[in-house]
Chains A and B, each alone.
Chain A
Amino acid sequence: MSGYPISIQESIKKLEQTRSFRLTQEIPRLSFSEREQLLKECHPDYRPDSIKEVRVGPNKGERLTNKLADLLEAKSSLKPDKIDLQFIDHEVDILVIGGGGAGVSAALIAQERGASVLLATKLRIGDSNTIMAEGGIAAATQCNDTPERHFLDTIGGGRFKNKKDLVSALVHDAPLMVEWLKDLGCMFDTHDNGDFVVSFAGGQQRRRVHSCKDTSGLEFMRVIRDELYNRKIPVLEYCPAIELLLDEEGKSAGAILKNIETGEHLIVKAKAVILATGGIGRLHPCDFPTTNHYGATADGLVIAYRAGANLLHMDHIQFHPTGAMWPEQMLGQLITEACRGNGSHLVNINGDRFINELETRDTVSSAILREVKDRGNGIPTPTGKEGIWLDTPLINIRGDAGKLDRMFAGIVHRFNEYGIDVRKEPIMIFPTQHYQNGGVEIDSDARTSVAGIYAAGECSGGVQGINRLGGNSLLDIFVFGHRSANNACEYVKKVKVGKLSLRHITEYNRQLDEVGINNGLTSPILLPDYTREAVKIKSYN
């Protein structure tokens, strides 16, 4: 029995009919210039309304993804004159903001090196995009692979906009990070002899993604979180940073946290701050659904920007080619690239493929948008949307009958809840917002442009260029989690922090007034608001 409505079962039959042909079909990869052409025609980044100019702050005059620009032009949610900075609640060497993979790894390394550390996070430790990452971590660990190959793939994937020193750091540290995770007790997929199983990701010329089934991020997160507890590192949950503190010289001096359960503010004095606040997906750039965590609201970008740190590449958002399109309850949720890396095809309503499935994400997403919007080859859902098939049964056909259960247990389970057996039927997909590509600009020591403020993971910018490759994000968080901690530890040995100040907030508000900006918003927003209009109206706020 099919788990799909009768209206779309016809197109599944077509997909089944073309399967044997498709298995022999080679679709050549696009050249770099052909890819650029496709992106400019079809990628959401190039829609006229996707970016807008930001009129204040370090990136003044640049065009950024529009919902971020709005939050940068919002007033601080804090009233600086109401805060008495004399009452310090916590004083530490290093404050880590964010409880995902970058933040927790930074806290572990910083404590190992002898710094006093406090980790503050908006929700629970582990509430992050890390825990939702499926595919795995990229590293050149195989004998047919090298860091140079990984470098070339990453920088080409990023459309040559990546900062080269960051990419060099990324590919250099990659195999070390895999070993670090193995030593902590992460349960990687292995062959019978214990060697790591590696898979393809789009745009990678070698199999180099190391996975833990299709819940790699969950596995890494629960292990490093467990280690954080074992080492008794102090943690404040439900306490997002709502502004950074500087001293009179403009150096990092800590942050103001807000307990979102009680409304109480906490002042943390710290010699260095490591921002690891993650992404932007819950702002829904270009009005797409998102794969991101509930807390992905760009808080770190907003507070770093007000403190004077510049952003990089925030005009390019990553849309993952394969977000779930059916059932509606799963709309926008991630279907890992590893499905394509293990041989699934993308198939239109006629049963045809239309792109090499292992092109980079920007390319595949653009090709899907072209197939559906321009060529009318999407498969209509009963609710008036359109999607493309991801032929998951091919994974077992090309591998063995148990491969989906073994390597994609999460997907099998989640679709099974809705009566869809992905071993027998394809998954309906459509692009979904996935990653912010850019962020707070860092150097290879994870330093931002403000002394004492470091950034790691998705909130940082430069390493991924303007399009990230699959497998490079779980890598990025650990490489720059480690690097930020190592360098912050050196920095705190030497620095003297002066008097705490929020003058930069007052000054930022003044600049907004000067330009005459009053968009009625305050930021950071901390959580998205999914309240219906009908309820909002009746709350009379």
Chain B
Amino acid sequence: MEEKLVDINVMGKLYQVPEGLTIMTAMEWIGYKFTRGCGCRGGFCGACGTFYRLPGNYKLQVGLACSTKIIPSMYLTQIPYFPSQKALYDLDEIENPVKALLELYPEIKKCVGCGACVKACPQNLRPIDYIAAALRGDWKEAAELSFDCIMCGLCASRCTGELVPYNIALFVRRYFSKSVRPKPKHIIDRNKEIREGMFDEAVKALASLSEEELKKKYDLREFEKL
């Protein structure tokens, strides 16, 4: 069967590629061999953020090259890297998190709520909202709203206040997860037992069994109910 070819425009150059490919597989079909702009190929790693437009439409659109289907006549460029500020800090030394946030990322106050970040997020997050939550000191809200971030950098490329929202969010999530949320008692207790060697003998005894004896025990396991 003849493949149906459609036009796409990669960084200003026109190509014809089979329809139905992703931006990434279309570029590989053309003959690009990636070192940058390609990572996990599954939507997790943020290597392949891409901007594109369609003819006759002023709207700037975004997607991950690995998981965005090509659209006929689209013209695109990848943003494999975007310069960003990352503050250095020691989580153990943070006493007043709001003060720390304003010191580490003073530009956070420059967020004017324009929403350009929202339009630029391929994960459909709303950086504007998690930045606002962080400014209010609502750590839980900011952490939860930003959790699906893959740190591709597209929000930072569009931010009119020149923030790097994803690095701010990472600081907030780490502080929240480490210091706001309590450490579960069950993990503290278990690790006390582990450090005291409470299970060492039992594991050793199991490890000393023959393969036949282990197989018997294995088949007799009782499973917790789903």
Docked-complex contact B22 and A329, CB < 8 angstroms: yes
Interface centre among A185, A188, A232, A261 (most CB of B within 10 A): A185
Chain B residues within an 8 Å CB radius of A155: 214, 218
Closest to A157 in B: B218
Q: Is B86 an interface residue (CB 8 A)?
A: yes
Q: In the assembly, what is the distance between CA of A328 and CA of B204, in Å?
A: 48
In the complex formed, the residue of A with least CB distance to B185 is A195
Known: A334-B42, A413-B123, A527-B35. A165 touches B190 (CB 8 A): no
B1 to chain A, nearest CB (A): 11
Contact A175 B177 (CB under 8 A): no
Indicate with 1 or 0, residue by residue over B136-150, a CB within 8 angstroms of chain A CB atoms. Answer: 000000010001101
Q: Are A226 and B170 in contact (CB under 8 A)?
A: yes
Contact stretch, chosen from A41-49, A307-315, A530-538:
A530-538
**Residues 398-444 of A contacting B (Cβ, < 8 Å):** 409-410, 413-414, 417-418
Contacts A160-B211, A185-B173, A194-B182 given; indicate if A176 touches B191 (C-beta within 8 A). yes
Closest to B64 in A: A417
CB 8 Å contact bits of A514-538 with B (1 = contact, 0 = none): 0000000000000101111001000
Q: Bound complex: CA of A151 vs CA of B201, how far in Å? A: 13
Contact between chains at A152 and B219 (CB < 8 Å): no
Q: Is B44 an interface residue (CB 8 A)?
A: yes
Pick from B20, B38, B47, B203: contact of A328, CB under 8 Å: B20
Question: A171 interface residue, CB < 8 Å from B?
Answer: yes
Residues of B within 8 A of A418 (CB): 69
Q: Is B109 close to A, CB under 8 A?
A: no
Residue numbers in B under 8 Å from A222 (CB-CB): 151, 170
In contact, B219 and A409 (Cβ under 8 angstroms): no
How large, as a class, is the contact surface on chain B? 35 or more
| B-contact 0/1 string along A469-499, CB 8 Å cutoff | 0000000000000000000000000000000
State whether A229 touches B187 (Cβ < 8 A). no
Q: Given the complex of chains A and B, what is the CA–CA distance between A54 and B177 in angstroms?
A: 48
- Contact at B177–A186, with CB atoms within 8 Å? yes
Selected contact of A187 from candidates B22, B33, B88, B143, CB within 8 Å = B143
Question: Are B177 and A188 in contact, with the CB atoms below 8 A?
Answer: yes
Smallest CB separation, A136 vs chain B (Å):
14
Could you say which residues of chain A place their CB within 8 Å of the CB of B176? 185, 187
**B44 contacts which of A31, A131, A147 (Cβ < 8 Å)?**
A131
C-alpha gap A172/B185 in the complex (Å)? 18
B residues 110-130 in Cβ contact with A at 8 Å: 123-124
A410 to B147, CA, bound (A): 10
The smallest C-beta distance from A214 to any residue of chain B, in angstroms, reads 10
Question: Could you tell me if A187 and B67 are in contact, using CB atoms closer than 8 angstroms?
Answer: no
Distance of B144 from chain A, by nearest CB (Å): 9
Q: Shortest Cβ distance from A329 into chain B, in angstroms?
A: 5
A288: interface (CB < 8 Å)? no
A215 touches B226 (CB 8 A): no
Whose C-beta in chain A lies nearest to the C-beta of B31?
A535
B34 within 8 A of A: yes
Question: Is B175 among interface residues, defined by CB-CB distance under 8 A?
Answer: yes
* Alpha-carbon distance between A31 and B217 when the two chains are bound, in angstroms: 11
- B100 at interface by CB-CB < 8 Å: no
Does residue B199 face the partner (Cβ distance < 8 Å to A)? Answer: yes
Contact with B along A443-458 (1 / 0, CB 8 A): 0000000000000000
Instruction: Assess whether B222 is interfacial by the CB under 8 Å rule.
Output: yes
- Stretch from A14-22, A85-93, A122-130, A266-274 at the B interface: A122-130
Asked if A195 contacts B186 (CB within 8 A), the reply is: yes
Q: Are A148 and B148 in contact (CB under 8 A)?
A: no
Choose one: B148, B199, B214, B217; the contact of A146 (CB below 8 Å).
B199
Q: How far is the CA of A185 from the CA of B194 in the complex (A)?
A: 22
Residues in B with CB closer than 8 Å to A333 are 41-43
Find out whether the CB atom of B224 lies under 8 angstroms from the CB atom of A144: yes
The answer to whether B91 has its CB under 8 Å from any CB of chain A is yes
CB neighbours (8 Å) of B107 from chain A are: none
- Among B68, B175, B179, B219, chain A packs the most CB atoms within 10 A around the CB of B219
Does A326 belong to the interface (CB within 8 Å)?
no
Q: How far is the CB of A223 from chain B (nearest CB, A)?
A: 6
A26–B40 CA distance with the chains assembled, in angstroms: 37
Q: Is there a chain A Cβ closer than 8 Å to B72's Cβ?
A: no
A-B contact count (CB 8 A): 211
Q: Are B29 and A196 in contact (CB under 8 A)?
A: no
- State whether the Cβ of B45 lies closer than 8 Å to any Cβ in chain A: yes
The 0/1 profile, CB within 8 Å of B marked 1, for residues 163-202 of chain A is 0110110011001101100111111101000111000100
Judge if A502 is at the interface, Cβ distance under 8 Å: no
Rounded to whole angstroms, the CA-CA distance of A132 and B90 in the bound complex is 27
Cα distance, A213 to B150, chains bound together (Å)? 14
State how many angstroms separate the Cβ of A162 from the closest Cβ of chain B: 10
Which residues of A from 105 to 151 have beta carbons under 8 Å from B? 123-124, 126-127, 131-132, 140-144, 146-149, 151
A175 to B31 alpha-carbon distance, docked (Å): 47
Chain A residues, Cβ within 8 Å of B204: 168
Given contacts A182-B177, A218-B44, A329-B69, contact A32 B215 (CB under 8 A): yes
- Is the Cβ of A185 less than 8 Å from the Cβ of B40? no
A207 part of interface (Cβ distance < 8 Å): yes
Given contacts A152-B221, A168-B203, contact A141 B42 (CB under 8 A): no
> Which one of A29, A147, A410 contacts B43 once the chains associate, using CB atoms below 8 Å?
A410
Does A83 sit at the interface, judged by CB under 8 A? Answer: no
Query: Quick one: CB contact mask for B196-207 with A, threshold 8 Å, 1 for yes?
Result: 000110111011
Contact of A410 among B148, B179, B221 (CB under 8 A): B148
Report yes or no: B68 in contact with A417, Cβ–Cβ below 8 A: yes
Please report which residues of chain B, range 126-180, place their CB below 8 angstroms from some CB of chain A when the two chains form the complex. Answer: 143, 147-148, 150-151, 170, 173-179
Q: Distance (Å) between the CB of B198 and the closest chain A CB?
A: 9
Residues of A within 8 A of B221 (CB): 149, 152-153, 205
Q: Contact check, B177 vs A185: say whether CB atoms are below 8 A apart.
A: yes
Q: 9 A–B contact pairs at CB < 8 A? A: A131-B40, A147-B194, A152-B221, A175-B190, A178-B187, A187-B143, A212-B147, A226-B86, A414-B43
Closest 6 interchain pairs by CB?
A185-B174, A156-B218, A185-B178, A535-B31, A187-B177, A194-B182
Interfacial residues, chain B to chain A (CB-CB below 8 A): 20-22, 25, 28-31, 33-36, 38-45, 47, 67-69, 86, 88-91, 123-124, 143, 147-148, 150-151, 170, 173-179, 181-188, 190-191, 194, 199-200, 202-204, 206-207, 211, 214-215, 217-219, 221-224, 226
Which A residues fall within an 8 A CB radius of B?
A: 29, 31-32, 123-124, 126-127, 131-132, 140-144, 146-149, 151-153, 155-156, 160, 164-165, 167-168, 171-172, 175-176, 178-179, 182-188, 190, 194-196, 200, 205-207, 212-213, 215, 217-219, 222-223, 226, 229-230, 232, 238, 260-261, 291, 293-295, 328-330, 333-334, 343, 358, 409-410, 413-414, 417-418, 527, 529-532, 535, 539
